[in-house]
Amino acid sequence: MRRDIIKAGRSLAFLFIIFIFGSYIIVAQSEITGEWTAKASDKSPDKIYLSMSRRTSDNGKNQNGSTFEYSELQGLSREQTAGGSVRFSLVREAGTIECEGRFENGKGSGTFRFVPNMSYVSAMQSRGFDFTKSRSDRSSDTTEERLLAAALINVTVAQADDLRSANFDNLDVGDLFKAAIFKIDGKFMAEMKATGFPNLQMEDLVKARIFKIDADYVREIKDMGFGADSFENLVKYRIFKVTPQYLSELRAEGLTDLDPEQIVQLKIFNVDASYVREQRAKDPGISVEKLVQKKIGVWGK
C-alpha cells in the first residue's frame, strides 16, 4: 500500500513540476490528448475545416473548430483527404498539435496530442501575460489548455508586443485571445484612441470589430454632431444601421436637435428624409414622437 502511494506521488510530481528561475515560472505538465475531425472545403480548395475535441480539467468536454490552409498543416495536402491514413501537425509558437488518423472522401478523423512550448510561456510572462494563471472567465482551465487555445487561434509573441505598443493598460491573456479572434491590433487600438475615446477597454474594441466601427465611422458621426460623445451610442447606431448619410439627411430636413434615442427610434420605424419632408410640409413643428406615431399609423387613434 505504502509503495503504491509513493508510486502515485511520483507520477503526480512528474505530471506537474514547477521550476522557478529568478522571477520566471516555467510549468512542465502533461500533454493534452483528444480527437479530431476534419472536412475538406468544397468552395476553397486550399482550405480545410478542422475540429479538436478533448476532456477538460473539470471533466467537461471542450471543442474548438476552425478553418486552416493546408500550408499551415505540415504533412497534409488536399490530395491526401481523398482517402488513406495521415499524420500531420499544426506548429505554433504556443506548441505543436500532432494528429494521426484517416480520411475518406474529404472527411477525416483521428486522435491528436498537444505538446506545449514552455519557452513561449516565459516569453509571454516577460511581457506581462501569465499563461500559468487562470483566466478570469475560465477559472478551471489549466496552463496546457490555455496554451492549446493560443495555438489553435495562433496567438504570437509579436502580437503581444504589438498590443503593448499601443499603450493600453491592464491587458491579460484573455485580451490576447480576444485580439487574435477579432483581429484587433495596435494600429486599430491607437486609431480608436485618437478619435476621442482614450479609455476604451478590450471589450469595447471587440464590440467595435463586431459592429464594424472604425476610426472613419467615428469621425463621420462626430461631424454630424449627434451623440458621438458616447461609444455606446456609436454601438447603437451600428446595430440599427444609422449611417452618417442618414444623419446628414435628417439634418437637411431640419432635425438638428436629436438625441441618440430619438435617432434610433426614427431608424427603427423607417422614418427617412422624404417622410420627414412630407410631414413637415403639413406640420412644420412636428415632433419626433408624432413622426413615429404617424409612420406606424397610431396617431389620432
Strands (E) across 121-210 are located at none
User: What's residue 297's pLDDT?
Assistant: 82
How do residues 9-24 score in pLDDT, each as one tens digit?
A: 443 333 333 333 333 3
In the DSSP assignment, the letter for residue 60 is: -
In a domain, 171, yes or no: no
Angle at 170 between CA 92 and CA 189, to 5 degrees: 70
Confidence of residue 31 (pLDDT cuts 50, 70, 90): confident
- Report helix, strand or coil for 58: coil
* Amino acid type, 188: F
pTM of the predicted model, to two decimals? 0.78
Split at pLDDT 50, 70, 90, the class of 166 is: confident
Q: Does residue 76 sit within a domain?
A: yes
Tens-digit pLDDT profile for residues 36-73: 999 999 889 999 999 999 877 667 788 888 999 999 99
Residues in the chain: 301
Asked if 35 contacts 110 with a C-beta cutoff of 8 angstroms, the reply is yes
**Which residue range is the domain that position 241 belongs to?**
215-295
Does 276 fall in a domain?
yes
Instruction: Let me know if residue 269 belongs to a domain.
Output: yes
Return phi, psi of residue 22, to 5°: 60, -125
Task: Mark which of 103, 124, 155 sits at the end of a domain.
Answer: 155
**Assigned domain for 21 exists:** no
Other Cβ atoms within 10 Å of 216 Cβ, number: 11
Boundary residue ending a domain (86, 121, 155): 155
pLDDT tens per residue across span 212-269 = 999 999 999 888 878 678 899 999 999 999 999 999 999 999 888 899 999 999 999 9
Does residue 233 share a domain with residue 135? no
Helix (H) or strand (E) holding 274: helix 273-282
Q: Is residue 93 one of the residues assigned to a domain?
A: yes
The mean pLDDT of 157-174, rounded to a whole number, is 90
One domain, residues 41 and 136: yes
- Interval 23-32 mean pLDDT: 52
Task: Report whether pLDDT(277) > 50.
Answer: yes
Angle at 239 between CA 234 and CA 242, to 5 degrees: 65
pLDDT value at 301 more than 70: no
**Residue 107 clears pLDDT 80, i.e. is over it:** yes
Is position 64 within any domain? yes
How far apart CA 14 and CA 164 sit, in angstroms, is 35
Name the percent of the chain in helix, strand, coil, to the closest 5: 45, 25, 30
Regarding whether 118 and 232 lie in a shared domain, the answer is no
Number of domains in the chain: 2
Q: Choose the final residue of a domain: 155, 172, 195.
A: 155
